[in-house]
Amino acid sequence: MEFVPEQGKHVNGDSSTLILPALSIGNVGQLAVDLLVASTRAERIGYLDTPYVLPCVGNDAYGPVPNGELALPLEAYDSSAKCNDFNPTKGRMIEFAKNLADYVAASGKKHVVVLSSLDFGRWQRVDMSSGLQTLYLSSTNSDGTDDYCEQLRWKKLQEYKPTQKAWKYLSALAEGNAIPESILPFEGELEEEEYYYPSLPFAALFSCLKAKGLKVTCLFCYCSEGDNIPDAFHLAEAACKLLGLSPSNFQGNGNDKLVIPLSWKTVYGPPADMSLF
């Protein structure tokens, strides 16, 4: 993976935290990073190039006005945290995660925060008594727990079971070790329920970054496809809590103070032509 600095921009060598989204249902991780980039007024400092990302371009996503600057699929922004957005090629997630982990470790990052969402339809123990819940997964302890996350009253992702065959298989892939025959999946076994969570993009990122000795914290919320803006606000606010950022210092509209990015104005397209009715 190659970093290409934007002309005239300075890379902050003191930045030790990386925030990135993992592809997931409702694109909540990407939407949450949109909010953080816009709210912290993060500055684009460059681009990353890798063969594992689809080549594409779009208009400037953050504004505040549409000035026609091109956006690429893998960009780096610098603020009190560094936020990267990416779009890995389907079917090559492990290769991308390894490539990214190598770059992150070499760049001196100490803590990586991965934002993602989970399919509400697979939630085994639904509890909405306190509204949207934040779940987490951490590399701090071998069982995925973290004392600070527990203090925030977040729940560890119960589906992370490091002694389970599927998670052992993913860990061996991430570490590049020879895979013992005892954990090799049988034909058709990868389609079984046990392999669902380890097959998700966040799991590849978590395992590959952890294999490099980095501290990794994944934050999740359960959601369904549809209007996922409330979920994005929830996940962005959780990231702020984790990193000690105060949304009240942002310059957004409304009580939450998070800044809505320019690109969200057309997230659902133009309104219907009422003359049709």
Summarize the confidence of residues 117-135 as an average pLDDT.
74
Which of 37-51, 133-147, 171-185 ranks highest by mean pLDDT?
133-147
Instruction: Please spell the DSSP secondary structure of 102-133, one letter per residue.
Output: HHHHHTT--EEEEEEEEEGGG-SS---TTSS-
Residue-level pLDDT at 218: 97
Of 6-15, 189-198, 204-213, least confident by mean pLDDT is: 6-15
- Which has the closest alpha carbon to 214: 17, 22, 13, 3? 17
Average pLDDT along the chain: 83
CATH 3.40.50.10900 fits domain 15-264:
yes
Range in 146-160, 163-177, 240-254 the model is least confident about: 240-254
Residues paired with 43 in a beta bridge:
78
Query: What integer pLDDT is reported at residue 242 of this predicted model?
Result: 94
pLDDT at 46 over 80: yes
Domain boundaries, given as residue ranges, for the chain: 15-264
Lowest mean pLDDT among 62-66, 175-179, 243-247: 62-66
Tracing tokens 């990386």 back to the chain, one arrives at: 18
Report, as an integer, the average pLDDT of 134-141: 96
Q: Is the pLDDT of residue 252 over 90?
A: no
Question: Per the structure block, which two tokens stand in for 249?
Answer: 């210092």
Which residues have a Cβ under 8 Å from the Cβ of 27 and sit 6 or more positions away?
A: 21, 228
Closest CA to 126 of 155, 96, 83: 155
Q: Tell me what pLDDT residue 187 has.
A: 63
Report percent pLDDT > 90 for the chain: 35
| Residues near 170 by beta carbon (within 8 Å), at least 6 away in sequence | 198, 203, 204, 207
